[in-house]
Amino acid sequence: MNVLVVGGAGFIGSHLCDDLIKKGYKVYCMDNLSLGTRANIAHLENQGAFELIKGDASDREEIEAVFAMAEPEYVFHLAANSDIQASASSPDVEYRNTYTTTYEILMAMRRHGVKRIFFASTSAVYGEKKDVLLSENTPNLSPISYYGAAKLGSEALISAFTYMNDMTALVFRFPNVIGPRLTHGVIYDFIRKLKLDSSKLEILGDGKQTKPYIYVKDLVAAIASLSNIDSNVEETGVRLYNVGVEGATSVTAIADILCEEMGLCNVKYEYTGGEGGWKGDVPRFTYSTEKIRAEGWKPEYNSDDAVRLTVKSIIGV
Amino acid sequence: MNVLVVGGAGFIGSHLCDDLIKKGYKVYCMDNLSLGTRANIAHLENQGAFELIKGDASDREEIEAVFAMAEPEYVFHLAANSDIQASASSPDVEYRNTYTTTYEILMAMRRHGVKRIFFASTSAVYGEKKDVLLSENTPNLSPISYYGAAKLGSEALISAFTYMNDMTALVFRFPNVIGPRLTHGVIYDFIRKLKLDSSKLEILGDGKQTKPYIYVKDLVAAIASLSNIDSNVEETGVRLYNVGVEGATSVTAIADILCEEMGLCNVKYEYTGGEGGWKGDVPRFTYSTEKIRAEGWKPEYNSDDAVRLTVKSIIGV
């Protein structure tokens, strides 16, 4: 069966391609290679079942050409700007790469009669809700980042397109996802800083920002387990799940794990102060994953484990 | 004070312009005149305090020119495709006229440091929720029309832009709005059909689709009452309200009122059958307006009154 992974050369997308190839699908990977890299999928490019198409999914002609050629039966949509901090100063990136990609993918599915989509959404759709256990039934979603807004807008599009065109959609709201091939974020930044100067580490905020981190392979297993790729009979509509892990890890705890794994003992932490690390960041949240656990999925690694594994994979120990 | 009404030549926008001019503001009205008409604002065009600018708010250069010239302190954003039935076959209209207008208006506000916006949202953001009294706290918003999706996406943008740029936003979710200058919808269609042939009336669905209809002047009074145009000290963030009326009116009841007011006695109703009138329509809903009533606003007319007044204004009795 032909499947299309949009954003398939990115951090999460490339791990999903690995899994889909292993399971025997013919995988078309569309990526604009702005955040995704050929290095992420280099090991797949010599396989006949894998095809990379460089292209921009927000461009109608380019996505149309991909649909016409790949004739996918299932679309995995992971194309987005994933660097929230960067888009704070240029919202156009989210308008084009996060929202418009979703719109044009859905329009292409509508034109080609493709009925099934997986969509990578985010905990950022909730906004900053202090002392609320975030579940799929939490009301008043009020994103505080352009990224969260574009993802919530995308979810709204999926709701309408699904209804109007008898499609079925699986939507996961990811928390922070980490693992090999990570391209940005706090772990990535800390390693970069410590490699430049291992005597001190600047930490944005008060270091108490605490979030659940999921290991990318756990996440891919969740996608594989719930996407029912081979099933032909499915109800139309949207199935939406929070995907998460046990526990959460503070920024200071991340620094501690990192120093330990890098064998650094006397790193001086320098806090910039304040609550959040940067505007649009949600400093702490807890996530209900009861609904997806009821489907039989659970992650292998907790949040601290995920951080440690990721650190090891990046520093190469 | 200079205010900008985007979509000001439209049905609701033109009534809002009337009110703002009466209150002494300098009103810049931007409209692409696709659904709005010069006829709607002809009576304002000879007033010095009113200026019409024909332009497309989804075009960055055009909206930039308007902001540079008008230097507004308050923006009323009512630009949208308002014909849900029409956009079912061409979602691009919603992408451009409903979502992108919001995005470009917010981007212009961000560039020019304009801090205050009123946004016309809709009950269509909720989707079809049977037997639920829709309140601002209803969870799982799942629009079933491209229009509802573009409006929910716009609300998400307003949430993020407000937070990131210290803006303040007033958002109203309108139910069906009716009154003089109406350009489409069931009342408009019925009158058109009866003028062609008064012996029968085709009614989409089973006629039991029942919705609250608010009279446009009541709605404008609500906007005026809660927008605090002259206040300089306001908290940042979004204030969001359902705006609605007492009661609801079925499609058959609308036909009855219409026949009565037009003096027609023997009109044969021909039902096409089924629940909703057309795909993407939400056949019935009830609306909690407790929150806005707590602010001291209440409508003068109930839903049936609003229908009757509108019929009278259109047929000219």
Residue B207 in contact with partner chain A when CB distance is under 8 A: no
- How many CB atoms within 10 Å of residue A287? 21
Interface check for A280 against chain B (CB to CB < 8 A): the answer is yes
Chain B neighbors of A90, CB-CB under 8 A: none
Q: How confident is the model at residue B217 (pLDDT cuts 50, 70, 90)?
A: very high
pLDDT in tens, A104-113: 999 999 999 9
DSSP state of A211: E
* Distances from the Cα of A62 to the Cα of A57, A58, A65, A101, angstroms: 7, 8, 5, 11
Q: Is A140 on the interface with B (CB under 8 A)?
A: yes
Q: Is the domain of A153 the same as that of A169?
A: yes
The pLDDT > 90 percentage for chain B reads 84
> In angstroms, rounded to a whole number, what is the distance separating the alpha carbons of residues A175 and A133?
13
Is A292 a domain residue?
no
Choice between A279 and B56, residue whose per-residue pLDDT is larger: B56
Answer yes or no: is B295 within a domain: no
Mean pLDDT of chain A: 94
Burial of residue A124 (CB within 10 Å: 0-12, 13-18, 19+) is buried
CB of B91 less than 8 A from some CB of A: yes
B86 Rama class: left (phi>0) / alpha (psi -120 to 50) / beta: alpha
Looking at the structure of chain A, the number of domains it has is 2
Average of per-residue pLDDT values in chain B: 94
* DSSP-based three-state secondary structure for A253: helix
Higher pLDDT, B89 or B283: B89
CA atoms of A150 and A103, how far apart (whole Å): 11
**Same-domain check for residues B257 and B139:** no
> Whole-prediction pTM value?
0.95
How far apart are the C-alpha atoms of A209 and A283, rounded to whole Å? 5
d(C-alpha A56, C-alpha A62), whole Å: 6
> Within this chain, do residues B73 and B198 fall inside the same structural domain, yes or no?
no
pLDDT at res. B22: 96
Q: pLDDT band at A192, cuts 50/70/90?
A: very high
Sign of CA dihedral B255, B257, B258, B262: positive
Q: Which of A4, A12, A46 is nearest to A29 (CA)?
A: A4
CB A10 within 8 A of CB A40: yes
Query: Any idea what DSSP says for residue A292?
Result: H
What residues form DSSP beta bridges with A172?
A: A120, A241
Q: In this structure, is residue B294 part of a structural domain? A: no
Q: Inspect the interface and report whether the beta carbons of B159 and A139 lie closer than 8 Å.
A: no
Contact A156 B136 (CB under 8 A): no
Cβ of A153 within 8 Å of Cβ of B127? The answer is no
Model ipTM value:
0.95
Q: Band of the pLDDT at B101, cuts 50, 70, 90?
A: very high
Q: Provide the CATH number for the domain around residue A258.
A: 3.90.25.10
pLDDT in tens, A205-222: 899 989 999 999 999 999
A169, A262: one domain: no
Chain A contacts of B86, Cβ < 8 Å?
none
- Distance CA(A253)–CA(A257), nearest Å, equals 6
Is residue A164 located within the same domain as residue A238?
yes
> pLDDT value at position B4?
98
Q: Is B54 helix (H, G, I), strand (E, B) or coil?
A: strand
For residue A47, the tally of other CB atoms under 10 A from its CB is 12
Contact B149 A143 (CB under 8 A): no
Using the predicted structure, report yes or no on whether residue A283 has a pLDDT greater than 80. Answer: no
Q: Does residue B267 sit in the same domain as residue B309?
A: yes
Which pLDDT value is given to residue B269? Answer: 97
Nearest to A159 among B149, B161, B279 (CB): B149
Arithmetic mean of pLDDT, A147-175: 97
B152 vs A: CB within 8 A: yes
Pair A222, A308 in one domain: no
pLDDT the model gives residue A275: 73
A18 with A155, same domain: the answer is yes
What letter represents residue B297's amino acid? W
Helical (H) or strand (E) element with B240? strand B237-242
Structure tokens that stand for A231 in this block: 């099933």
Q: Is the pLDDT of residue A130 over 90?
A: no
Q: For the segment B139-170, what is each residue's pLDDT rounded down to a tens digit?
A: 999 999 999 999 999 999 999 999 999 999 99
Strands, DSSP E only, in chain A?
2-6, 26-31, 50-54, 74-77, 116-122, 133-134, 168-174, 176-178, 200-203, 210-211, 213-215, 237-242, 249-250, 268-271, 286-287
Model pLDDT, residue B184: 84
Q: Is B144–A163 a contact, with Cβ atoms under 8 angstroms apart?
A: yes
Is B290 a member of any domain? no
- Confidence band, pLDDT 50/70/90 cuts, at residue B228: confident
d(CA B61, CA B69): 12
Tell whether A20 and A118 lie within a shared domain. yes
- Where is pLDDT greater, at A158 or A209? A158
Whether A103 has a pLDDT exceeding 70, the answer reads: yes
Q: What is the mean pLDDT of residues B111-117?
A: 97
Distance of alpha carbon B129 from alpha carbon B85, whole angstroms: 19
Of B46, B48, B44, the residue nearest B15 (C-alpha) = B44
In a domain, residue A293? The reply is no
Tell me: do B146 and B203 sit in the same domain.
no
Residue B138 pLDDT? 96
CATH classification of the domain holding A60: 3.40.50.720
Q: Of all residues in chain A, what percent carry a pLDDT higher than 90? A: 83
Query: B317 vs chain A: nearest CA distance in angstroms?
Result: 40
List the B50-54 sheet strands across, edge first: B50-54, B26-31, B2-6, B74-77, B116-122, B168-174, B237-242
pLDDT bracket for residue A279 (50, 70, 90): confident
Q: Which residues pair with A97 in a beta bridge?
A: none
Tell me what the mean pLDDT of segment B271-292 comes to: 82
Structural domain contains residue B296:
no
Please check whether residue B198 lies inside any domain of the structure. yes
Based on the domain organization, do B224 and B276 belong to the same domain? no
> Which among A138, A153, A164 has CB closest to B279?
A164
Q: Is the per-residue pLDDT at B277 higher than 90? A: no
Neighbouring-strand partners of residue B5: B29, B76
* pLDDT at residue A233 in the model: 61
* Cβ partners under 8 Å of residue A31, min gap 6: A6, A7, A8, A9, A10, A13, A52, A53, A54, A55, A79
- Domain interval for residue B256: 186-211+247-285+301-315
Give the pLDDT mean for B255-264. 94
Instruction: For residue A75, list its beta bridge partners.
Output: A4, A117
pLDDT band at A296 (very low <50, low <70, confident <90, very high): very high
The answer to whether position A15 is within a domain reads yes
Region B161-186: mean pLDDT is: 94
Q: Do A86 and A228 have their domain in common?
A: yes
pLDDT at B233: 61
